[in-house]
């Protein structure tokens, strides 16, 4: 059996088992390809080069065992492989931190935020950093800036430390243990934030794969806006004059607009559409705070 044939067979098994996707892949075929190539120790980004390679029984058994584990545990593939890829960059992850999949990663890579940045941009805060992936991608995208990365979860910060060290960025990224801005000092030119924003109704319906992630990383209260209300209130005090906040809100745009009807917001286009990530200037945030 070839690599490609095995992938097709594994995809059929995942489909039949009804596993959920959304932690790096969106369908059974891509997930089967990822797990198959990973189990065989083959590069994940060049299936064409190995598609017709013949596999012996031991290889096939190794792949089948990993797919068995994926189906029986319902853990996201990234927790089984302990790696997640964002914008072609590999990150370590385990169950202490949510599997990274923020759309802010693609905005850092494609330059969508750059029109709001400039010579004045020296400091970035990655608020709610989780495994540290956005902090690392920001440090890579903007080689001259310093990044602070904060999280309430000490466990997530342990995972973030692994990533900061693996990417050789300990001199440029500082990790902070903080309840939102409580232990954050100073002001920033850019704040990135992918906070918990899943509303209570959606939390109750989450597939097992999402329930395997830390609840602290997902739950955002009745309308998903609990943390975001605090962030928007406190952010202006931590932003320089020309600073912007880039905030991911997932599928919660309706709740966001209901909670902040007067806020001037710029919606940034992502591969999942224009409703996922919003950019807010300090000026708009300060005006919103004054209106309260
Ligand atoms: C949706 S995850 C995002 C993680 C990471 N930025 C990413 O994109 O993969 C939200 C993160 O917020 C953290 N968090 C939850 N409540 C917090 C709070 N009050 N203060 C700081 N961080 C908090 C969680 O521990 C979690 O790591």
pLDDT digits (tens, 9 = 90+) for 22-75: 999 999 999 999 999 999 999 998 899 999 999 999 999 999 999 999 999 999
pLDDT digits (tens, 9 = 90+) for 163-195: 999 999 999 999 999 999 999 998 999 999 999
3-state class (DSSP) for residue 70 = helix
pLDDT digits (tens, 9 = 90+) for 222-231: 999 999 999 9
Answer CATH for 3-81 from 1.10.1740, 1.10.8, 1.20.120, 1.10.10: 1.10.8
Mean pLDDT over all residues of the chain? 96
Ligand 1 center–CA 61 separation, angstroms: 37
pLDDT at 292 over 60: no
Residue spans per domain, the chain: 3-81, 83-291
Q: Is the CB of 135 under 6 A from ligand 1?
A: no
Residue 238 · residue 190 · CB < 8 Å: no
Ligand 1 atom, smallest distance to 179 CA: 20
Q: Is the CB of 217 under 6 A from ligand 1?
A: yes
CATH 3.40.50.2300 is held by the domain 83-291: no
Interatomic CA distance for residues 257 and 266, integer angstroms: 12
pLDDT at 289 over 80: no
What is the model's pTM?
A: 0.96
Structure tokens at 148: 């602070």
Residue 196 · residue 128 · CB < 8 Å: yes
pLDDT digits (tens, 9 = 90+) for 124-162: 999 999 999 999 999 999 999 999 999 999 999 999 999
Q: What is the pLDDT of residue 291?
A: 57
What is the H or E stretch that residue 127 is in? strand 123-127
pLDDT digits (tens, 9 = 90+) for 103-121: 999 999 999 999 999 999 9
């Amino acid at each position: 059996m070839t690599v490609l044939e095995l992938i097709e067979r594994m995809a059929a098994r995942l489909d039949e088992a009804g596993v959920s996707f959304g932690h790096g892949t969106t369908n059974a075929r891509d997930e089967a390809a990822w797990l198959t190539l990973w189990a065989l120790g083959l590069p994940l980004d060049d299936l064409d080069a190995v598609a017709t390679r013949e596999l012996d029984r031991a290889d096939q058994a190794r792949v089948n065992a990993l797919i068995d584990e994926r189906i029986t545990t319902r853990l996201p593939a990234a927790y089984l492989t302990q790696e997640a890829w964002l914008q072609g960059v590999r990150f370590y992850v385990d169950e202490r931190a949510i599997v990274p999949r923020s759309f802010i990663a693609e905005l850092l890579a494609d330059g969508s935020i750059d029109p709001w940045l400039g010579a004045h941009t020296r400091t970035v805060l990655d608020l709610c950093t989780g495994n540290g992936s956005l902090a690392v991608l920001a440090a890579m995208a903007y080689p001259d800036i310093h990044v602070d990365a904060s999280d309430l979860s000490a466990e997530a910060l342990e995972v973030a430390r692994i990533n900061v060290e693996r990417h050789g960025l300990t001199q440029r990224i500082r990790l902070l243990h903080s309840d939102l801005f409580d232990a954050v000092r100073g002001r920033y030119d850019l704040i990135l934030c992918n906070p918990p924003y899943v509303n209570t109704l959606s939390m109750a319906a989450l597939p097992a794969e999402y329930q395997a992630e830390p609840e602290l990383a997902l739950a955002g209260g009745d309308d998903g806006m609990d943390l975001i209300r605090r962030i928007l209130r406190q952010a202006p005090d931590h932003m320089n004059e020309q600073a912007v906040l880039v905030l991911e809100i997932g599928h919660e745009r309706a709740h966001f607009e209901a909670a902040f009807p007067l806020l001037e917001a710029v919606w940034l286009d992502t591969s999942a559409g224009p409703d996922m990530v919003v950019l807010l200037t300090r000026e708009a945030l300060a005006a919103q705070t004054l209106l309260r």
